[in-house]
Amino acid sequence: MKDKVLILNQDFSAIAVCSIYKAFLLVYLEKAEMITRSEAGALRTITRTYPVPSVIRLQRYVHVPYHGIALSRHNVMRRDNYTCQYCGTIKNLTLDHLLPRSRGGETNWQNLVTACTRCNSRKGDRTPEEAGLKLLRKPIRPSLQYFLKMHLDTTNQDWGMYLGVKE
């Protein structure tokens, strides 16, 4: 069963993903309304049947401070889909500074990629070009929408219209 629910702000902008349990609670407490039902079916108690939400919308507008996604080891790996950005493996992952720190490389979204220990040590104190390594993707600063879209493949397709994804 698909177990994630997309939360929309009052203005229908996507702001988060939560569990079905939390979504139920928000709807039950009348903090949110159900926008789309999940195809996953319904939750049944002895006396009642509750449709499972796929998208809910907050009743009141919530100010989401716009300072983006926090730069962290976890979030860099998440952005890179937990794959080494040089060879594509998913094992023994570390973070690599494209321009090494020892050479003044900064710790930011554009200079950090997920790399396996093997590629990382092969690269050593060099840039990818110097080491003859090619990046699978150019590292970007991810937005909240970017992370929400990553859920799309595995969750409900009816989220697409709220995330600006053409269907």
Residues forming the site for Zn ion (CB under 5 A) = 84, 86-87, 116, 119
What are phi and psi for residue 162, nearest 5 degrees? -90, -10
**d(C-alpha 25, C-alpha 40), whole Å:** 18
Task: Tell me if residue 22 falls in helix, strand or coil.
Answer: helix
C-beta of 88 vs 164, nearer to Zn ion: 88
What are phi and psi for residue 100, nearest 5 degrees? -55, 145
Which residue shows structure tokens 């349990």?
21
Task: Tell me if residue 50 falls in helix, strand or coil.
Answer: strand
CB of residue 116 vs Zn ion: minimum separation in angstroms?
3
CB of residue 122 vs Zn ion: minimum separation in angstroms?
8
CB of residue 118 vs Zn ion: minimum separation in angstroms?
5
C-beta of 18 vs 87, nearer to Zn ion: 87
C-beta of 17 vs 119, nearer to Zn ion: 119
**d(C-alpha 81, C-alpha 61), whole Å:** 31
C-beta of 56 vs 116, nearer to Zn ion: 116
CB of residue 136 vs Zn ion: minimum separation in angstroms?
10
DSSP letter for each residue of 53-109: EEEEEESS--------S---HHHHHHHTTTS-TTT---SSEEEEESS-GGGT---ST
CB of residue 107 vs Zn ion: minimum separation in angstroms?
20
C-beta of 52 vs 119, nearer to Zn ion: 119
Angle made by CA atoms 98, 101, 107, in degrees to the nearest 5: 70
